[in-house]
């Protein structure tokens, strides 16, 4: 059962996306381009001046000092311009990358839960982790060098041609050897890099899976088998990496051969022309220096080719995520401050047996409906469907007559298990509205009455490695997020907690305060929570089996009445 991977963009599509991003920064783009060309052009000055110097010595005419000063000036100018262009190109690259990264994270955050359930967790992790890091590394270090080297090669070839076409042609003899080396290398490398990315993704997937499932693995004493899977994938990833390196070394040899053949040709043709009195020794010197200058940048292109190509493989994977359909952010449609919610004929089944069957439910504006039922009845699934996080297989959810998919930001969902992000308590709440001021965050925390949060201090670090929160505390934090986001509709899947525990009682009060004035569905595990709702809906095996006020249902003596007497008997 191999879950599908997220899409991967084509190289052409990735190029177009980079182009679009570039067009959004025309000034920075132009500045980077101009400075890079100027830096590469300045590099041509030194070989030209040296050629003149050789001719001056050769013909015994005049002082050499002007040439020496010119040489020094050319070196300083080239160094200064190279420095400037490195900064401008790197800054441009970082800017574009930041934009792309925002888009990737945005799309990853908005992946419908249904898709998140289907795709491999490791794949998404490696896209936003490994791939983004790999592209960032290439942009930070390789991009300015590659741009500079590419331009230097180009301008040096132009300079050679302007100097003497026969010398340039002699140098170009090396070209077929280069082309051959590249034609040998390219078709072999691309599939290897792609395979390397896949192997690394599978390795991280296996690692993540065994860490996330550690409890289960222990419970079934299944360590050895999991270890074997991880080892196997690690070995495969290593083998592919070594293979890539071997190929690359071989390519380097082929490129070196081209360099010396070319240089020999320039010198041979050059001195033949000198003997014939066609060109000066200085011109041949300049040509040889220019030709030699090609190899530093070419070598650099060669050695970063590796990184560039593997960054390219990561880039198309990033763009694949960035190109996922955008979830329409708060469409212009606005609902009433307290909209009505209507579920019509909802069905769901996670691709297996039905979990929800033909559920009809209307929640009046501002009404609080409590959803109760045995474990596995489908409460969490129904809450997800109502919030637009799960796509129903049948029926539709309407918020004031508008499909919920178009109004996702109108519905706040607090899930049963809240992910607490690494950072301070206040930062975690602020996620709901990044622009919110400290006072608003504090007010939201106060609304949910998180006494423990005040006691701990809102600067307390939570999440990975921080202060550990109980499930009800994490939910209180999520309720504070809800208050800050202030959606007109709230869906709360209450955390299960020790009956009678202080945390659970606090959470019940927090839930009431946070959802006050909103059209609300709360999955209630504490039946006192249900008793305080406007209406109670009982779900059994995916169907609505009873509904009414708490008092009506207790009086009716049905399923809810049984649940209630069991709950009160628990004390």
Handedness of CA 420, 421, 427, 430 (dihedral sign): negative
Provide the minimum distance between the beta carbon of 150 and Mg ion in the complex, in angstroms, as a whole number.
57
What would the x/- binding string for ligand ADP be over residues 307 to 346, using CB under 6 A? ----------------------------------------
Q: Residue 189 or residue 380: which is nearer to Mg ion going by CB?
A: 380
Q: Cβ distance 360 to 394 under 8 Å? A: no
| Packing angle, helices 165-172 and 281-322, rounded to 10 | 50
Sequence-separated (6 or more) residues with CB below 8 Å from residue 490:
411, 412, 414, 482, 514, 515, 518, 519, 520, 521, 522
Closer to ligand ADP by CB, 265 or 539: give it: 539
CB of 319 to ligand ADP, least distance (A): 28
Q: Candidates 107-115, 150-158, 377-385, 464-472 — which segment interacts with Mg ion by CB under 5 A? A: 377-385
Q: What is the closest distance, in whole angstroms, from the C-beta atom of residue 308 to Mg ion in the complex?
A: 48
How far apart CA 509 and CA 449 sit, in angstroms, is 8
Q: How far is the CB of 523 from ligand ADP (least distance, A)?
A: 7
Nearest-CA neighbor of 425 among 454, 459, 449, 452? Answer: 459
Q: Which of residues 373-402 bind ligand ADP (CB under 6 A)?
A: 373, 375-381
3-state secondary structure of 402: strand
Tokens of 450: 């998180």
Q: Residues 357, 543: contact at Cβ < 8 Å?
A: yes
- The 339-358 contact track toward ligand ADP, x by CB under 6 A, reads -----------x----x---
Rule CB under 6 A: say whether 475 interacts with ligand ADP: no
Nearest to 384 by CA among 400, 395, 397, 367: 397
Q: For the chain, percent helix, then strand, then coil, each to nearest 5?
A: 65, 10, 25
Greatest Cα pair distance in the chain: 119
CB of 381 to ligand ADP, least distance (A): 3
Say whether residue 380 binds Mg ion (CB under 5 A).
yes
165 contacts which partner out of Mg ion, ligand ADP, none, CB within 5 to 8 A by kind?
none
Q: How are beta strands 411-414 and 489-493 bridged, if at all?
A: parallel
* Residue 96 or 504 with smaller CB distance to ligand ADP: 504
The stretch near ligand ADP (CB under 6 A) out of 74-82, 194-202, 261-269, 368-376 is 368-376
394-399 and 341-348 as β-strands: parallel, antiparallel, unpaired? antiparallel
**Span interacting with Mg ion, options 113-121, 178-186, 321-329, 376-384, rule CB under 5 A:** 376-384
Q: Which stretch binds Mg ion (CB under 5 A): 33-41, 130-138, 373-381, 387-395?
A: 373-381
CB 383, min distance to ligand ADP, A? 8
CB of 505 to ligand ADP, least distance (A): 22
Return the number of the residue (315 or 382) whose C-beta is nearest ligand ADP: 382
Quick one: which segment of 67-75, 133-141, 375-383, 446-454 binds Mg ion (CB under 5 A)?
Answer: 375-383
CB of 339 to ligand ADP, least distance (A): 24
Helix-helix angle 502-515:471-485, to 10 degrees:
10
Residues 547 and 536 sit within 8 Å (Cβ to Cβ): yes
117 part of the interface to ligand ADP, by CB under 6 A: yes
Q: Residue 535: which H helix or E strand, with range?
A: strand 535-540
Residue 286, interface with Mg ion (CB under 5 A)?
no
Using the rule CB under 6 A, is 52 a contact of ligand ADP?
A: no
Q: How far is the CB of 491 from Mg ion (least distance, A)?
A: 12
- Whole-number minimum distance, CB 149 to Mg ion, in Å? 58
Q: Which residue stretches of 60-119 are H helix?
A: 65-109, 113-118
Nearer to Mg ion, 147 or 524 (CB): 524
Q: Which does 377 bind (CB under 5 to 8 A by kind): ligand ADP, Mg ion, none?
A: ligand ADP
Identity of the residue, 153 or 523, whose beta carbon is nearer to ligand ADP in the bound complex: 523
- 489-493 and 519-523 as β-strands: parallel, antiparallel, unpaired? parallel
Assign 124 to helix, strand or coil.
Answer: helix
- The minimum distance between CB 387 and ligand ADP, in angstroms, equals 13
Tokens of 446: 């106060």
H-run or E-run covering 277: none
Question: H helices within 110-141, ranges in order?
Answer: 113-118, 121-126, 132-137
Which of the ranges 62-70, 147-155, 278-286, 378-386 carries the binding residues for Mg ion, by CB under 5 A? Answer: 378-386
By beta-carbon proximity to Mg ion, the closer residue of 52 and 379 is 379
The H or E element containing residue 408 is: none
Q: In whole angstroms, what is the distance from residue 339 CA to residue 401 CA?
A: 9
If you ran DSSP here, which 8-state letter would residue 467 be given?
B
What are the residues binding Mg ion (CB under 5 A)? Answer: 379-380
What are the residues binding ligand ADP (CB under 6 A)? Answer: 117, 350, 355, 373, 375-381
């Amino acid at each position: 059962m191999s879950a599908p991977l997220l899409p991967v963009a084509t190289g052409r599509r990735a190029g177009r996306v980079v182009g679009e991003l570039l067009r959004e920064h025309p000034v920075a783009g132009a500045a980077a381009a101009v400075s890079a060309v100027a830096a590469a052009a300045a590099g041509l000055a030194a070989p030209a001046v040296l050629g003149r110097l050789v001719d001056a010595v050769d013909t015994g005419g005049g002082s050499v000092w002007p040439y020496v000063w010119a040489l020094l000036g050319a070196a300083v100018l080239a160094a200064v311009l190279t420095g400037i262009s490195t900064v401008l190109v790197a800054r441009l690259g970082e800017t574009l990358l930041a934009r792309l990264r925002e888009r990737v994270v945005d799309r990853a955050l908005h992946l419908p839960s249904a898709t998140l359930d289907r795709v491999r967790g490791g794949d998404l992790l490696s896209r936003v982790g490994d791939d983004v890091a790999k592209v960032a590394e290439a942009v930070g270090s390789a991009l300015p060098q590659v741009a500079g080297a590419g331009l230097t090669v180009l301008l040096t070839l132009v300079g050679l041609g302007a100097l003497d076409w026969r010398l340039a042609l002699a140098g170009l003899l090396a070209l077929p050897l280069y082309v051959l080396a590249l034609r040998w290398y390219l078709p072999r490398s691309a599939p290897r890099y792609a395979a390397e990315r896949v192997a690394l993704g599978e390795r991280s997937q296996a690692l993540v899976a065994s860490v996330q499932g550690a409890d289960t693995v222990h419970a079934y004493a299944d360590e050895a088998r999991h270890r074997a899977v991880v080892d196997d994938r690690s070995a495969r990833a290593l083998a592919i990496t070594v293979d890539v390196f071997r190929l690359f070394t071989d390519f380097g040899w082929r490129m070196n051969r081209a360099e010396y053949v070319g240089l020999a040709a320039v010198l041979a043709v050059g001195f033949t022309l000198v003997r014939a009195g066609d060109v000066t020794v200085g011109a041949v010197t300049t040509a040889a220096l220019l030709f030699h200058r090609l190899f530093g940048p070419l070598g650099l292109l060669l050695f970063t080719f590796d990184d560039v190509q593997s960054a390219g493989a990561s880039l198309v994977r990033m763009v694949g995520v960035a190109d996922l359909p955008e979830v329409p952010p708060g469409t212009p449609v606005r609902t009433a401050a307290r909209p009505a919610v209507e579920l019509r004929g909802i069905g769901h089944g996670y691709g297996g047996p039905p979990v929800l069957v033909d559920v009809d439910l209307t929640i009046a504006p501002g009404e609080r409906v409590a959803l109760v039922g045995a474990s596995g009845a489908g409460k969490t699934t129904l809450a997800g469907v109502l919030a637009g996080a799960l796509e129903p297989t049948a029926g539709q959810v309407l918020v004031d007559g508008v499909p919920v998919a178009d109004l996702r930001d109108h519905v706040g969902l607090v899930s049963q298990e809240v992910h607490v992000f690494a950072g301070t308590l206040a930062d975690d709440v602020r996620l709901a509205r990044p622009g919110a001021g400290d006072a608003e965050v504090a007010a939201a925390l106060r609304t949910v009455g998180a006494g423990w949060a005040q006691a701990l201090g809102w600067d307390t670090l939570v999440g990975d490695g921080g202060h550990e929160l109980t499930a009800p505390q994490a939910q209180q934090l999520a309720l504070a997020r809800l208050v800050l986001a202030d959606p007109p509709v709230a869906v709360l899947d209450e955390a299960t907690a020790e009956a009678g525990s202080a945390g659970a009682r606090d959470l019940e009060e927090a839930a009431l305060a946070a959802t006050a004035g909103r059209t609300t569905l709360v999955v209630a595990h504490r039946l006192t929570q249900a008793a305080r709702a406007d209406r109670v809906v009982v779900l059994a095996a995916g169907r609505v089996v009873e509904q009414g006020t708490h008092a009506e249902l207790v009086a009716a003596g049905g399923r809810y009445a049984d649940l209630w007497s069991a709950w009160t008997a628990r004390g």
